[in-house]
């Protein structure tokens, strides 16, 4: 019976896509998905050896993660690879890597709010936009350099998080999600309509790249190192806070707010901390984005962007630091890989996410974070 | 010397009188049981004592400090810890992390210290872990320290709740049906734990349905029915109180 069920799901899916893709593509989708389901079932039934192998591999992977002595080795290997990338990669790959790095910072920041503390924030892009515009405007209109503008941008983003958080954190669950969604839209609309300051939909152009000791970092491989450094700092700081009493308090709030408050945690205050501390990183990522593009416009900060960042966090595994970085990298790389099938890639992405929810709801690396 | 002094505590939810003018006192170092049929207002009373709900009227004093209507994180800081009837562990966290969370107030280092990870921070974390293991040892769970807490067997989850409450270093421990759903052997072990807690100098108030536990360990019993205190006394007095027999014990 279960097989029949899956068959109907596939059929339903194909019919759903009929209006968008036409009969031919829809039939292809149906055939493809059916064979996938069939293969999967055969694999589950007869592939005992394979399954056993996968299980053992996963167990060993868990072992690697949990064993603290192998962690530095894995990290330094990874760092080495990342460091060498500009020497072997072409500009195209480097460009995407920079973008992936910026998104990884965003995902790490949002993960504090959504993954650790369990507050659904659908307006995270607003903080990203604030960070980007702060640097853009301070640079173009005031003439501040990247390093002077950066702390101001981060500070302003944190302040915005505070201003949003004080009233919004009285709400919970879906209501909080709606308020943050609204906040995201408000920020975008203000940027779009405040012509005298933000130049409206035309955006701000002519933003200068950062300089380091008089050396411009605008060239891709130099900029790559700047983003890599920012990512490592973000990862390190977030990771350390995660493993302190603050991180534990956040997770406790996510798990059971009432219980957390009877353990001495001022839950309102810690929810606010999470929102503010999570927003800071969007400020950093925004400044990096503006300095890389040398141009910002409200178009880059739509609601879809919030959804994308949230997808990274969910795909990688709520609450897992390596997970959300992997999620960010995958979701930035994926459209590039799927460039050939341009018009279907949103479908592929959504099917992928749905499949994830069914087969691995905790996210790609979600399970590993538990036993830390 | 009375540690807890509850005076005329009243809690109404709209038209429902969950607790009506309840007063009792708890002597330092004693074990007090609160019994009563379902819906008598026992858990609401606990919620009022721990700041989870604000009482409509009445006062609660802990030693000399008024704790009436304080938010729960403040009440904990003054030394009142509790467990829950329907276990409320931090399910996705490990057993150890559960006990570390409840040492929140004992750890001083803030954000900056956590990022720099200096000597003080590390030693504080180390002390917290050592203490966590002490508390886990106390309830016999230190071997399960690295298990995700939702994977623990039921009885162990109840004991972990006690360890977690204990880690806030309370003077007064409120246990809400600690033996609910346990088999006789587990119940016996839990009674042992409660007695050991008393020997540690903790004052204990528990809500309990198991009469063997109630009669076996409590010095004073408070009986609630429909939100009203109908009797208070030692086990012998309660056993022979006609009102209690009618309302609860059923002869």
Residue A172 has a pLDDT of: 83
* Nearest to B195, CA basis, from B128, B126, B138, B110: B138
Residue A61 has a pLDDT of: 57
Instruction: Please judge whether B90 and A237 are an interchain contact, meaning their C-beta atoms are less than 8 angstroms apart.
Output: no
- Interface confidence, given as ipTM, is 0.93
DSSP B37: S
Segment B16-34 mean pLDDT: 94
Asked whether the predicted pLDDT for residue B251 surpasses 50, the reply is: no
Instruction: Please judge whether A370 and B92 are an interchain contact, meaning their C-beta atoms are less than 8 angstroms apart.
Output: yes
Domain at A89-369: CATH code = 1.10.3470
**Whether residue B195 is found in the same domain as residue B71:** yes
Q: Is the dihedral of CA A353, A355, A361, A367 positive or negative?
A: negative
Reported pTM? 0.86
Segment B156-181 mean pLDDT: 94
**Whether residue B190 is found in the same domain as residue B68:** yes
In the block, which residue shows the tokens 């701000």? Answer: A204
Residue of A nearest to B146 (CA): A371
Average pLDDT, chain A: 86
Q: Is residue B86 part of a domain?
A: no
Can you list the alpha helix ranges (DSSP code H) found in chain B? 42-49, 72-77, 95-101, 111-116, 119-139, 154-166, 184-199, 211-217, 235-239, 242-244
Q: Which residues of A touch B (CB under 8 A)?
A: 237, 240-241, 243-249, 251-252, 255-256, 258-267, 277, 370-371
Instruction: Please judge whether A245 and B107 are an interchain contact, meaning their C-beta atoms are less than 8 angstroms apart.
Output: yes
**Whether residue B240 is found in the same domain as residue B183:** yes
**Whether residue B179 is found in the same domain as residue B244:** yes
**Whether residue B146 is found in the same domain as residue B183:** no
Instruction: Please judge whether B164 and A260 are an interchain contact, meaning their C-beta atoms are less than 8 angstroms apart.
Output: no
**Whether residue B116 is found in the same domain as residue B163:** yes
Higher pLDDT, B246 or B214: B214
Q: Which two tokens stand for residue B209?
A: 């349905």
Asked whether the predicted pLDDT for residue A367 surpasses 70, the reply is: no
Instruction: Please judge whether B146 and A371 are an interchain contact, meaning their C-beta atoms are less than 8 angstroms apart.
Output: yes
**Whether residue B40 is found in the same domain as residue B68:** yes
Q: Is residue B117 part of a domain?
A: yes
Residue A90 has a pLDDT of: 84
**Whether residue B147 is found in the same domain as residue B199:** no
Domain range summary for chain A, segments of one domain joined by +: 89-369
Segment A79-108 mean pLDDT: 90
CA of A262 vs chain B CAs: smallest distance (Å): 5
Domain count, chain B: 2
Range of the domain at B25: 1-79+170-251
**Whether residue B160 is found in the same domain as residue B176:** no
On chain B, the residues whose CB falls within 8 A of the CB of A243 are 114
Nearest to A248 among B77, B88, B101 (CB): B101
Work out the pLDDT band at B101, boundaries 50, 70, 90.
very high
Tens digit of each residue's pLDDT (9 = 90 or more) over A264-295: 999 999 999 999 999 999 999 999 999 999 99
Residue A361 has a pLDDT of: 75
Give the CATH number, domain containing residue B15. Answer: 3.40.50.300
**Whether residue B229 is found in the same domain as residue B250:** yes
Compute the residue count for chain A.
372
> Strand B203-207 to strand B172-176: parallel, antiparallel, or no bridges (unpaired)?
parallel
**Whether residue B22 is found in the same domain as residue B68:** yes
What b/e string do you get for B57-77 counting C-beta neighbours within 10 Å, with b at 16 or more? ebebbbeeeebbebebbebbe
Which SS3 state, helix, strand or coil, does residue A361 take?
coil
**Whether residue B174 is found in the same domain as residue B159:** no
Work out the pLDDT band at A369, boundaries 50, 70, 90.
very low
Asked whether the predicted pLDDT for residue B139 surpasses 80, the reply is: yes
Q: Is residue B247 part of a domain?
A: yes
Segment A325-344 mean pLDDT: 81
Tens digit of each residue's pLDDT (9 = 90 or more) over A336-349: 877 766 677 677 77
CA of B182 vs chain A CAs: smallest distance (Å): 22
Q: Is residue B85 part of a domain?
A: no
Residue A164 has a pLDDT of: 94
**Domain C-terminal end among B117, B146, B169:** B169
**Domain C-terminal end among B154, B169, B184:** B169
| CA dist B207 → A66, A220, A247, B187 (Å) | 40, 67, 33, 14
**Domain C-terminal end among B145, B169, B193:** B169
Residue of B nearest to A253 (CA): B90
Instruction: Please judge whether B73 and A252 are an interchain contact, meaning their C-beta atoms are less than 8 angstroms apart.
Output: no
Residue A132 has a pLDDT of: 96
Instruction: Please judge whether B50 and A262 are an interchain contact, meaning their C-beta atoms are less than 8 angstroms apart.
Output: yes
């Amino acid at each position: 019976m279960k097989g029949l069920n899956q068959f109907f799901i596939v059929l339903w899916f194909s019919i759903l896509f009929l209006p968008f893709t036409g009969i031919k593509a829809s039939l292809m989708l149906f055939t493809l998905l059916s064979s996938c389901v069939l293969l999967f079932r055969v694999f589950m039934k007869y592939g005992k050896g394979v399954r056993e192998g996968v299980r053992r591999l996963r167990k060993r992977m868990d072992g690697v993660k949990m064993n603290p002595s192998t962690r530095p080795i894995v990290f330094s290997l990874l760092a080495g690879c990342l460091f060498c990338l500009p020497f072997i990669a072409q500009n195209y790959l480097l460009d995407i890597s920079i973008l992936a790095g910026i998104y990884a910072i965003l995902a790490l920041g949002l993960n504090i709010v959504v993954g650790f503390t369990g507050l659904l924030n659908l307006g995270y892009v607003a903080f990203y936009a604030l960070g980007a515009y702060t640097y853009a405007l301070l640079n173009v209109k005031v003439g501040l350099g990247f390093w002077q503008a950066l702390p101001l941008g981060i500070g302003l983003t944190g302040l915005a998080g505070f201003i949003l958080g004080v009233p919004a954190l009285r709400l919970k669950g879906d209501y909080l999600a709606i308020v943050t969604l609204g906040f995201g839209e408000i920020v975008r609309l203000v940027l779009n309509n405040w012509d005298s300051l933000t130049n409206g939909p035309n955006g701000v152009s002519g933003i200068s790249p950062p300089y380091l000791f008089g050396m411009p970092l605008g060239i891709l491989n130099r900029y790559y190192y700047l983003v890599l450094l920012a990512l490592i700092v973000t990862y390190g700081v977030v990771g350390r806070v995660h493993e302190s009493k603050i991180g534990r308090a956040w997770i406790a709030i996510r798990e059971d707010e009432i219980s957390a408050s009877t353990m001495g945690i001022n839950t309102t205050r810690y929810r606010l901390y999470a929102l503010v501390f999570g927003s800071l990183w969007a400020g950093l990522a925004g400044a990096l984005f503006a300095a890389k593009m040398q141009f910002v416009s409200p178009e880059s900060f739509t609601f879809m962007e919030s959804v994308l960042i949230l997808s990274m966090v969910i795909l990688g595994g709520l609450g897992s630091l390596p997970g959300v970085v992997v999620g960010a990298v995958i979701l930035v790389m994926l459209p590039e890989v799927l460039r050939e099938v341009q018009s279907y890639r949103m479908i592929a992405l959504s099917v992928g996410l749905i499949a994830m929810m069914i087969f691995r709801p905790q996210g790609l690396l979600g399970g590993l974070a538990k036993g830390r | 010397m009375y540690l807890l002094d509850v005076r005329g505590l009243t809690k109404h939810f709209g038209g429902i009188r969950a607790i009506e003018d309840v007063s009792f006192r708890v002597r330092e170092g004693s074990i007090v049981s609160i019994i009563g049929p379902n819906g008598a207002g026992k858990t609401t009373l606990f919620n009022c004592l721990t700041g989870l709900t604000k009482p409509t009227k009445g006062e609660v004093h802990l030693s000399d400090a008024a704790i009436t209507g304080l938010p729960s994180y403040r009440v904990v800081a003054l030394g009142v810890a509790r467990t829950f009837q329907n276990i409320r562990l931090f399910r996705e966290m490990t057993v150890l992390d559960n006990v570390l969370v409840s040492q929140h107030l004992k750890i001083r280092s803030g954000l900056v210290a956590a990022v720099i990870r200096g000597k003080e921070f590390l030693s504080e974390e180390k002390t917290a872990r050592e203490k966590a293991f002490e508390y886990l040892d106390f309830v016999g769970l230190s071997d399960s320290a690295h298990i995700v807490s939702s994977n623990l067997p039921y009885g162990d989850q109840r004991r972990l709740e006690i360890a977690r409450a204990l880690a806030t270093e309370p003077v007064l421990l409120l246990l809400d049906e600690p033996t609910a759903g346990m088999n006789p052997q587990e119940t016996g072990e839990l009674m042992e734990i409660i007695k050991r807690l008393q020997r540690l100098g903790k004052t204990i108030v528990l809500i309990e349905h198991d009469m063997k536990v109630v009669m076996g360990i409590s010095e004073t019993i408070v009986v609630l029915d429909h939100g009203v205190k109908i009797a208070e006394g030692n086990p012998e007095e309660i056993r022979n109180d006609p009102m209690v027999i009618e309302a609860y014990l059923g002869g």
